[in-house]
Amino acid sequence: MGQDAGPRFDLNLLRVFLAVYEAKSVGGAAQALNMSQPGLSTALARLRRQLGDPLFLRGATGMEPTSRARSLADSVRGIMRSVDAEVLKPPVFDPTTSTREFRIALTDIAEGIYLPIALRALKENASRMSLRSVFMSPRELEEAMAAGEVDMAAGFYPDIKGSAFMHRRIALHSFACIAAARHPELGERMTPEQFARLPHVVVEATGRSQEVFDRFLQRRQLQRDVVLRTPHFMSVPVIVAESDAVAVVPQALADFIIDHPRIRQVQLPFRPPTFQANLYWHRSAHTDPANQWLRQALIREFPRLQARAYDRNGRAANAPRG
């Protein structure tokens, strides 16, 4: 092999080789490849130099292959079939037959909001596929999405930043206060004095939404009496129902338990902040047909969430008023 072969080898030259081999004519090969005859002759000359062999010689029946060309023909055909079938063929994804498992990063509350939507999308259109909910630290999540080990993340992830990640807003959430249905001191609306004095249960989950509310209180110089800190949202309703403590939680959790007979929402004495939930995916998966399908399937369902209107008074505008 000549000195020019190696990493700089042009695979298009293999198409030229096969075209001349099959047509036994430079003109016929040029026509088959939709090239000019001078252009094909130039490409053939490059290939001859790179392989160190004339490859084709003029004969009575046209361009006859040399012994080197005949020995290469089957290998070149196999290479080009592989390139056409596995490299150049556009990827195809059929949700009705795929058995792929999608991995979605979610916080505990986000699981309750978004997994039912994702499962509904799969049941209606892709019954053979499955989901895996994963939880990771922000650093681990970014690395896993970059490596293709996690398909996407949904929820409040303020640490996912940078040009490598793409996102789409899916919902705007706020906060609500929950208390025991028969709380001895609370009516429908909490006073500022009650907010400061009553015992609070605070969730310090890694979902980070609680940080939004904490910063809000700091800016307003509002105080509260924290008697319990827990990393788990789902235990809070039970604790509140069994005590005189109150808890300010994401509105989605308060709405989820709105029919609980021993818990009710209490209007806060101020308008709580909002935070944006997004759907995130890595740029490397942006054109992946399967990832695109799941994103679109979820986004089609999200208007149901986006339709939720908050009046930012500590309770959803469309929630029952008690």
pLDDT for residue 279: 92
pLDDT for the residue numbered 303: 66
CATH code 3.40.190.10 for 103-172+276-306: yes
What mean pLDDT do residues 172-192 have?
A: 92
Mean pLDDT of the chain: 86
286-294: long-range pairs with CB below 8 Å, 24+: 286/166, 288/91, 289/91, 289/92, 289/93, 290/93, 290/98, 290/100, 290/102, 290/151, 291/151, 291/152, 292/93, 293/93, 293/95, 293/126, 294/102, 294/118, 294/121, 294/151, 294/152
Confidence at residue 3, expressed as pLDDT on a 0 to 100 scale = 47
Least confident of 32-46, 116-130, 183-197, 242-256: 116-130
Q: Where in the chain is the domain with CATH 3.40.190.10?
A: 103-172+276-306, 175-273
Domain boundaries for CATH 1.10.10.10 within the chain: 12-88
Whether 112 contacts 252, CB under 8 Å:
yes
Q: What mean pLDDT comes out for the span 187-196?
A: 94
**Least confidently predicted of 72-76, 158-162, 221-225:** 158-162
Q: What is the share, in percent, of the chain residues with pLDDT greater than 90?
A: 56
Tell me the per-residue pLDDT of 79-108, one tens digit each, with 9 for 90 and over. Answer: 998 888 777 777 778 888 889 999 999 887
Q: How far apart are CA 178 and CA 237, in angstroms?
A: 8
* Per-residue confidence (pLDDT) for residue 204, from 0 to 100: 84
Report the pLDDT averaged over residues 190-213: 89
Q: How far is CA 313 from CA 17, 187, 190, in A?
A: 74, 15, 11
Is 322's pLDDT higher than 50?
Answer: no
According to the model, what pLDDT value does residue 316 have? 42
The yes-or-no verdict on residue 205 having pLDDT over 80 is no
Q: Which CATH class is domain 12-88?
A: mainly alpha
pLDDT at 262 over 60: yes
Mean pLDDT of 150-156: 92
Task: Write down the residue that tokens 């630290």 correspond to.
Answer: 137
Dump pLDDT digits (tens) for 128-152: 889 999 988 888 999 999 999 999 9
Q: What is the pLDDT of residue 233?
A: 82
pLDDT, tens digit (0-9, with 9 covering 90-100), for 269-288: 999 999 888 899 999 999 89
pLDDT at 125: 79
The H helix count followed by the E strand count for the chain is 12, 12
33-87 pLDDT per residue, tens: 999 999 999 999 999 999 999 999 998 889 999 999 999 999 999 999 888 877 7
Q: Which of 111-115, 145-149, 219-223 has the lowest mean pLDDT?
A: 111-115
CATH architecture of 175-273: 3-Layer(aba) Sandwich (3.40)
pLDDT at 23: 94
Q: Evaluate if residue 162 carries a pLDDT over 50.
A: yes
